[in-house]
Structure 1
Amino acid sequence: MAERQARRAEDAAGDITRRELYFFNLYRLLEAVVYLGLVFSTLAVDWIRISHADLGRSVTLIYCAVAIILLISTDRMRRRLSASIGLALTLDTLAAALVLFSISGGHSSIPMMLMVNVGVGALLLPFRQSLLLAALAAVGVIAPPLFSYFSAATVDRSILEASLFGFAYIAVAALCAHLGRQMRETEALAEQRGVDLLNLEQVNDLIIRRMKTGVLLVDDANHILRINESAWHLIGNPSPNQRDLGQVAPELSRRLYHWRHSGRIDQNPVALAADVPEVIPRFSRMSPNDDTHILIFLDDTSLLSRRAEEMTLASLGRLSASIAHEIRNPLAAIRYSAQLLAESENMHEEDRRLVEIVNNHCTRANEVIENILQLSRRERSRPESIDLNAWALAFVEEYKQSNDLGQDHLRAITQNRTIEAMVDPQHLQQVVWNLVQNAIRYGREPGSVARVVLVARMATDKGPPLLEVVDRGPGIPAKVAAQIFDPFYTTSEDGTGLGLYLARQMCESSQATLEYVPVAGGGACFRITLSPAATLAARTAAQAT
C-alpha cells in the first residue's frame, strides 16, 4: 500500500514536470514563429535590415521544425530531462545567434525572448548545468555584434547591449536555479509528507480495524460512514450495503438520539443483535462543536469480564506461587517422615495403610505445587517452524518408548503433504503429552483398551494447521466440557485441575488455540489450531517494523 502511495506521488510529480515541459516547448514554437515573422514578413522591413536572408530563412525554418518535434516529443523528453533540456537550450541559443547574425537592427527583441528559455531551463536543471547553458547563451548573443565589429571595424552600441544581456542571462540562471532547487526540495518534502500522511492514515485504519472495541462513525443523518470489524460483528454482521443505523441497530440509534438531546449515556449493557455479546455504547463528537460526525464506541462486556478474570487469575497465580513456596518445605518434611515410618519393622498393617495414604496425598499436593510454580514462572514462547507430520510421528514413537502402553493403542495419522507450523516445540511437547496421557487414562469404555489417534492435518487447503488428539471413549458431557479449561476444575479424585488450564495457556503463548470438540458416535477430540509458518513470520516482521 505504501509503495502504491509513493508511486502515486511520483506520478503526480511527473505530471507536473510534463506540464512544464509542454508549455516550455509550446513557448519555443511561438518563439520560432516570431523568428519566421521577422525573417519572412514584409512588415518588418521598415525597422530591421536582413543582411543574410538565405541563412536567416533556413535557420528559422529548421528551428520551427525542431520546435514542433520537441513539442510532440514532450513525454520522451521527460524520461531524460537534463540531457533533453540541455540539448534544446543549445539549439535555442544557436538559432538565436544565427538569426541575430542574419539581421541588423531590432536586436533586443531576440535576446529578450531567449532570456525566457534560459530562466525556464534553470528552473528545471541543476545549478552548474544552468550556469553553463546561460554562459553559452551569453556567448551566442555577444558573438554576432563582435563579428560585425571585427569585420566592419566600427563600434556599435549593440555590443554593450549584448554584453548586458549576457550578464543578465547568468544572473537569471543563478537566481532561477536557486529557486528551482528550493522548488524541488519543497515539492519533494510535500511528496514525502503526503506519503507519510497516507502511511499514517493506513496505520490508523489498520489499528481501528483490528481494535477489540467496536468503532463506528456516523453523520447527522445516522448514516454509518466508517465501521471496524469488531463493531460489524457486535451489531450482527449486517449487509455492507446497509448504512442506516436505525435499521441496522435500532437500540443503538435510540441511545444515540437520547445522548444527542440530553448529553447522558445509558450505561446498561445491551445486545444489539441475536447471538452477539452485550456491549456498553459510548459516544463522542469529532470536535467540541461538531454534531455532524459522531464516534460510537462499543465496549464488549465479555472482553471486559475476561480481562478482569485474567487479572484476578494472575493475582491469584502470584499469591498461589508464594503460598506454594511456603508449603513446599513442610510438605517435604511430612513426606520424609512418612517414608521413615514406612521403613519401621514393627508397624502394624493399619498404620502402614495410613502412612501410604499420607504418601499418596503428599505426592498429589506436590504435583499441585509443581503445576502452580510452573504456571507462575512460565517462560516466554520461542516459536519456530516445524514439519507437523514429522513431529507427530516422532512424538508417537517417543511416547511409546517412554511409556508401557500394554494393550492400549496410540498411532499418528498424517497427510501426504508438507504441513509447516510456527510453534514452540517444547510447549507443544508438554501440551500434547498431557492430552495423550488424559486420553489413554480416561478415553476408554469400561473394560476396554484405549485407542488414541494423533492427527496432523490442514483445516482447509490454505490452512491453518491442526493437531488433534482423538479417543474413542465415552466423551465429555456438555456441562463438564464448558468448565474443563478452568483452573482447579477436575472430576478425578486424584487430579489437580491444572493440566488443561496450563495446556491452554501454553498454546496461547505460541499464538495457538486449544479447544474441545465432541466426536460423533462417541469419543473426545482436543484440537490445537496452530499458526502457519508464513503467517506468523509475516506478523512478526510487521511488528518489528
Structure 2
Amino acid sequence: MQPAYPSARPAPEAARHELLFLNCFRLAQALVYVGLSLSPSTLGWPKLADVGLARGMAVMFLLFALGLLSLTRRSSGHIRWTVSGALTVDIVAAVLAIATMHDARIGIAMMLAVNLAAGALILPLRLSCFFAALATLGVLGHSVFEIQHGDIGMDRELLESSLFGLAYFSITVLCYVLSRQIRASEALAEQRGVDLANLAQVNELIIRRMKTGVMLVDDANRIHQMNESAWMLLGNPAADQRDLGRLAPELSRRLYHWMTSGKLDESATQLADGVPEVVPRFSRLAPNDDSHVLIFLDDTSLVSRRAEELTLSSLGRLSASIAHEIRNPLAAIRYSAQLLAESEDLPPTDQRMVEIINNHCVRLNEIIENILQLSRRERSRPETLDLGMWANQFVEEYRQGNDLGEDSLRVIQASTPVAALADPQQLQQVVWNLVQNALRYGRMPGESARVMVVARHGEHGAPILEVIDRGPGIAPKVAAQIFEPFYTTHEYGTGLGLYLARQMSEANQASLEYVRVAGGGSCFRLVLTPARAGRTTGDAAAAG
C-alpha cells in the first residue's frame, strides 16, 4: 500500500524555491542586524551590551547570508546538510544578537521563527523539531543566564522566552504538515498531468493506427490533421498539400453538399488512383460549430473482408451441422460395403463396385473431417520444442503409419538446436497436411517423390520449418490462391487443407507461405515464434 503523502524530504528541484526564500530572508535578517548594530549612539536604541561583538557578529552573518544566496543553485544537491548548517548559524546569530542588542530581543526572536518555519518546509519532522528545540534552549538559556547575574525584571523575559519556544514548536509542526500536504498536491497534480499526457498520446496513437481514415477540416476547406489511413486513402499526398478541394474534389463536393443540405451521400467513391473505394461520413466537433468538421473514410475493402469472414464462419457452422448428419448414413454405407466384400460368391464386377464404394466413402470421410476442423477452432497450447528433434520424430511416425513405397521422406536439421514455441498437436496436423500434399503432387511424371522436412534458423534467429519437394512446382496464378478456402485444382480435392494449415499456423503466432524453389519444386515455409530465453528446449513429449 502506498503512503497517503510523499516523502517528508522533498526533491532538490522541488525545494529550490523554499531554499531561495530562506536565503533571501536570511540576507534581510542580516541587514537588520547590521542596521541595529550600526545605529548612532545618540538615538539610545537599541542599547548595545558589547558594541564590538554586536557589529562583528552582524557583519559576519551578512557575509554568510550573501555566500549562501550566491550558492543557492549549487547547494541544491546537498540541500539537507546545507539547510541544517544554515539554521545552526541562524540560531547562534540570533542568540548573540539578543545578548548584545537586548532591547530588540522580541523582534529578533520573531525573525528566528521565520527561519525555523522555512526550514520545516524542507527538512524532515525530527530534524525540524531538533532546531526548534535548539532555538528554544538558546532563548531560554540567555534568560536564565541573565537571571543568574542578578538582572532585575528577567522573570518576565523568562516567560516570554518560554512562549517563544512554544511558538517555535507550533510553527515548525504546522509548516511541516502544510509542506506534506503541498507536496501531496503537487505530486497528484504532476501525476494527473502525466496521465493526461499519456492518455493524449494513446488517443493520438489509436487515431493514427485506425483502419478508418480520419481528417479534421476547417471552414476554409483546409486539412488540419489526418491519420495514416486517411493519408493512404488520399493517395499519399505531400505534407504541404492541405487543400481538400485539390486533393479530393469529390470529397470536397460531398462535404459542401452535406453542410448545405444536411444530406449524406453514402455511395462509395475512389479518392485517388490505386486506392480502395471509401464511404465518407461527416461530423461537426460541436453542435453549433461549423468551423471544423471531422471526416471519416470507411474503407469498403475492410467491410467486404469482414463480411467474407462472417460468411465463412456461418458457412463453417452450417457445413459442420451437415457433416454430422452425413456421417451416420456414410458409416452405414461403408459398413454394408465391407460386409458385402466379405461374401465368397461375389462376382469380380461386383467386387470392383464395392471397391469403388469404399474408396469414395474414405474420400467423403476426409471431406467431413476437414469441414469439422474448419468449424472447430480449438485454442493452441504452445510448448517449447526443438524443431530438429520434433521433425525426426514426426518423420518416423509418418513412415510407420504410411506406406511410402519408392517415395522418400527425410529430415534436414541445423547443427544447433532450433527452439520454437508451438502447439505440438496443431503443428503435427499442419506438417502432416503439407507432407501429404508434397508426396501426392510434388513429383515429376514417372518419377518417385522426394520430400524433405527442413528445420533451420532464419533471419534474426527465427525458427523455420520447411517442407520441400522436387516436383513441377505451382504456377504463380495458382500459388496466389492456394490458401483460399474451397480452392482446389484437383478433381477430388476439397480446397480446405492448406486453408486449415494456415489458420492453425496463425493460431500459433506463426506464418505459412509458399516459396518457389529455384530449379523446380515447391517449398512451404513455416516461420514460428522463437522460444523465450532461459527455458529448456525439448521435444514435444519432454515439453508436455
Superposition TM-score tier, normalisation by shorter sequence:
0.7 to 0.9
Q: Which amino acid aligns with 2:178?
A: L
User: Structure 1 pair 522/277, CA: closer, same or farther in 2 (3 Å)?
Assistant: farther
Q: Which amino acid aligns with 2:427?
A: L
Q: Are positions 1:380 and 2:382 aligned together?
A: no
Q: Are positions 1:279 and 2:278 aligned together?
A: yes
Query: 2-side partners of 1:206 and 1:296: how far apart?
Result: 18
Query: 2-side partners of 1:246 and 1:533: how far apart?
Result: 53
User: Structure 1 pair 44/165, CA: closer, same or farther in 2 (3 Å)?
Assistant: farther
The corresponding residue for 1:88 is 86
The corresponding residue for 2:541 is none
TM-score, length-scaled by structure 2:
0.84
Q: Secondary structure at the match of 2:15?
A: helix
Q: 1:337 deviation in Å?
A: 0.7
The corresponding residue for 1:8 is none
Q: Which amino acid aligns with 2:429?
A: Q
The corresponding residue for 2:483 is 485
Q: Secondary structure at the match of 2:286?
A: coil
The corresponding residue for 1:441 is 440
**Cα displacement string for residues 428-471 of structure 1 (whole angstroms, at most 9, x for unaligned residues):** 23212211221221122322333444455666x44765544343
Query: 2-side partners of 1:241 and 1:106: how far apart?
Result: 73
Q: Decide whether the 8 Å contact of 2:323 with 2:372 is kept in 1.
A: yes
Q: Gaps spanning 5+ residues in structure 1: where?
A: 1-11, 538-545
Q: 1:354 deviation in Å?
A: 1.4
Q: Decide whether the 8 Å contact of 1:488 with 1:496 is kept in 2.
A: yes
Q: 1:96 deviation in Å?
A: 0.6
Q: 1:101 deviation in Å?
A: 0.9
Q: Are positions 1:310 and 2:309 aligned together?
A: yes
The corresponding residue for 1:346 is 345
Q: 1:414 deviation in Å?
A: 6.1
The corresponding residue for 2:189 is 190
Q: Which amino acid aligns with 1:474?
A: P
Q: Decide whether the 8 Å contact of 1:97 with 1:143 is kept in 2.
A: no
Query: 2-side partners of 1:88 and 1:291: how far apart?
Result: 62
Query: 1-side partners of 2:421 and 2:269: how far apart?
Result: 39
The corresponding residue for 2:540 is none
Q: Decide whether the 8 Å contact of 2:316 with 2:375 is kept in 1.
A: yes
Query: 1-side partners of 2:15 and 2:35: how far apart?
Result: 30
User: Structure 1 pair 267/482, CA: closer, same or farther in 2 (3 Å)?
Assistant: farther
- Root mean square deviation, CA, Å: 3.4
Q: 1:243 deviation in Å?
A: 5.0
Q: Decide whether the 8 Å contact of 1:107 with 1:158 is kept in 2.
A: no
Q: Which amino acid aligns with 2:122?
A: L
The corresponding residue for 1:20 is 18
Query: 1-side partners of 2:527 and 2:235: how far apart?
Result: 26
Query: 2-side partners of 1:400 and 1:501: how far apart?
Result: 25
Query: 2-side partners of 1:270 and 1:392: how far apart?
Result: 51
Q: How does 1:387-426 map to 2 (within 5 A)?
A: 395=394, 399=398, 403-410=402-409, 421-426=420-425
Q: Decide whether the 8 Å contact of 1:419 with 1:465 is kept in 2.
A: yes
Query: 2-side partners of 1:174 and 1:92: how far apart?
Result: 19
Q: Are positions 1:109 and 2:107 aligned together?
A: yes
Query: With CA pairs under 8 Å and 6+ residues apart, which has the higher RCO, 1 or 2?
Result: 2
User: Structure 1 pair 434/343, CA: closer, same or farther in 2 (3 Å)?
Assistant: same
Query: 1-side partners of 2:465 and 2:244: how far apart?
Result: 42
Query: 2-side partners of 1:222 and 1:471: how far apart?
Result: 59
Q: Which amino acid aligns with 1:32?
A: A
User: Structure 1 pair 89/245, CA: closer, same or farther in 2 (3 Å)?
Assistant: farther
User: Structure 1 pair 462/368, CA: closer, same or farther in 2 (3 Å)?
Assistant: same
Q: Secondary structure at the match of 1:190?
A: helix
The corresponding residue for 1:38 is 36
Query: 2-side partners of 1:252 and 1:419: how far apart?
Result: 53
Query: 1-side partners of 2:269 and 2:410: how far apart?
Result: 49
Query: 2-side partners of 1:238 and 1:421: how far apart?
Result: 42
The corresponding residue for 1:502 is 500
The corresponding residue for 2:131 is 133
Query: 1-side partners of 2:245 and 2:450: how far apart?
Result: 56
**Cα displacement string for residues 227-281 of structure 1 (whole angstroms, at most 9, x for unaligned residues):** 4443344333445565555555554444444434443333222333333332222
**Cα displacement string for residues 84-143 of structure 1 (whole angstroms, at most 9, x for unaligned residues):** 433432321221111111223122332232222122222333445434433433333343
The corresponding residue for 2:3 is none
User: Structure 1 pair 401/351, CA: closer, same or farther in 2 (3 Å)?
Assistant: closer
The corresponding residue for 1:266 is 265
Q: 1:366 deviation in Å?
A: 1.2
Q: 1:375 deviation in Å?
A: 2.8
Query: 2-side partners of 1:54 and 1:277: how far apart?
Result: 94
The corresponding residue for 2:429 is 430
